[in-house]
Amino acid sequence: AAVGFDGLGSVSVTPGSYTDAAGNGGAGGSDTVAIDRVKPTVTVDIVDTQLSDTDSSSQVTFTFSEAPTNFSEADISVSAGLTLVAGSLAQDAVNPLLWTATVTANDAFDGTGTVTVGTAWQDAVGNTGIGDDDTVAIARVIHMATVDIHDTQSNATFSSSQDTFTFSEAPTNFREADI
């Protein structure tokens, strides 16, 4: 059967379509077999859209078109910036097509992380799976603030100074109360 075929295949012999040596017409017969040549797929979804210092981990869902028979943490790879939490991979108790795991963003990483499932897993009849991946923005870099006091001395004549605060990244909630 052709790759991509999923259904019943059959072979039949029409009654009387052949004879034996004595000229007797042959009886017909047929048989069927289930054929599955469809490659199963997986969709990878990192649930959180961004990871940061305040939210450094996310659940990842793996949704299969057919239940995999040999899917494990070894089938999951993560890029720089992410760590797969060991032992977190679990199949859903109700839906055999749904699996989940947890990833954590690494400290001091700023960029895009990727979770990938390759093609080493199979469906119940041995068809090799088609992999997938998903990405997440990660911002786990410690942001720095530099303070520059313009006047190097304070005395009775100069009791105040203009100060400059330079941030490595634009702050979103910097207030006078932070000084």
**DSSP string over 71-138:** --GGGEEE-TTEEE-TT--EE-SS-TTEEEEEEEEPTT-EEEEEEEE-S--B-TT-PBPB-EEEEEEE
* Cα separation values, 90 from 51, 95, 108, 134, Å: 22, 11, 29, 18
Q: What pLDDT does residue 63 have?
A: 98
Listed in sequence order, the residues at least 6 apart from 89 whose beta carbon sits closer than 8 Å to its beta carbon are 72, 73, 76, 99, 100, 101
- Residue 60 in tokens: 């990842």
44 vs 158, higher pLDDT: 44
Average pLDDT over residues 46-51: 97
- Residue 101 in tokens: 């795991």
pLDDT 10s digits, 81-140: 999 999 999 999 999 999 999 999 999 999 999 999 999 999 999 999 999 999 999 998
Q: What pLDDT does residue 166 have?
A: 80
159 vs 41, higher pLDDT: 41
Highest mean pLDDT among 30-44, 88-102, 128-142, 163-177: 88-102
Q: Which range among 28-32, 105-109, 110-114, 156-160 shows the weakest confidence by mean pLDDT?
A: 156-160
pLDDT 10s digits, 70-83: 999 999 999 999 99
- What is the reported pTM? 0.71
- Residue 130 in tokens: 């088609």
Query: Which of the four pLDDT bands, split at 50, 70 and 90, describes residue 7?
Result: confident
Asked if 80 and 112 touch (Cβ cutoff 8 Å), the reply is no
- Neighbour tally for 49: CB within 10 Å: 9
What is the spatial distance between Cα 147 and Cα 163, in angstroms, rounded to a whole number? 7
Three-state SS at 111: strand
Centroid of chain to Cα 150: 51
